[in-house]
Amino acid sequence: MSEAATRFVLEPEAARLLSEYGIPYPEHGVAHSADEAVQLAESLGYPVVLKAVSLDVVHKSDVGGVAVGLEDASEVRTAYERMVDQVQAAVPKAQIEGVLVCKQAAEGLEVIVGALDDHTFGPTVMFGLGGVFTEVLKDTTFRVAPLERSDAEEMVEEIQGYPLLSGERGQAAHDLNAVADLLLSVSRMIVDHPEIKELDLNPVRVYEQGVLVLDARLLERVGQAP
């Protein structure tokens, strides 16, 4: 199928699909004005993150479509107005559907989880450390879906960065069971939804208890029923 027959899914829609599989995503709402953004931020509690919601803007941070660490109503209002202006200036034809207001997540070890419909192997799940580890060291591993729990556990253990996750040399141990659960959930999702061509959860924060997906990029085929 050609690239023209695919579309990126808006992040709020992707987050709803994640929730159907029990995949944790920050509390959030979509604002369509600066006033709505402030109201959402007040209800979620500070600090918050703003992200532009637009099918025309895939890499939001490149065009001013992300603002983090907003601590009060004044900062939210200013960030909202600046974001809309910057995105429209960078991508004049972009249709902005709203601005996602998210509760800001606590710091944690970052990993990446992905999935794709491989031409040879079919639905495939990917795991690795996030940030520079993914971009520079290429520290990732793959398995064909559907995964068994043993597959998910092996994926976690075989990356070079496993000692960072497991808490070796005095480091805090992270929740490896939650990471395995996430991989299994992504495996079920891509098997259940053959219309998904690519899924990129990056970054995913891993804590001593639990995980949290901070950003979801979902590419699906158009016109293919689940």
* Fold annotation for 27-103: Dna Ligase; domain 1 (3.30.1490)
Burial of residue 211 (CB within 10 Å: 0-12, 13-18, 19+) is buried
- Once rounded to an integer, what is the mean pLDDT over residues 124-147? 86
- In this prediction, residue 83 carries a pLDDT of 98
* Per-residue pLDDT tens digits for 27-50: 999 999 999 999 999 999 999 999
Q: How far is CA 47 from CA 4, 27, 50, 164, 214, in A?
A: 39, 12, 10, 27, 14
- Once rounded to an integer, what is the mean pLDDT over residues 48-73? 95
Per domain, the residue ranges of the chain are 27-103, 107-221
pTM reported for the whole predicted model: 0.92
CATH 3.40.50.880 fits 107-221, yes or no: no
Q: What tokens appear for 129 in the block?
A: 């450390």
Q: What tokens appear for 62 in the block?
A: 């490149």
Q: Within 10 A of 95 (CB to CB), how many other CB atoms are there? A: 11
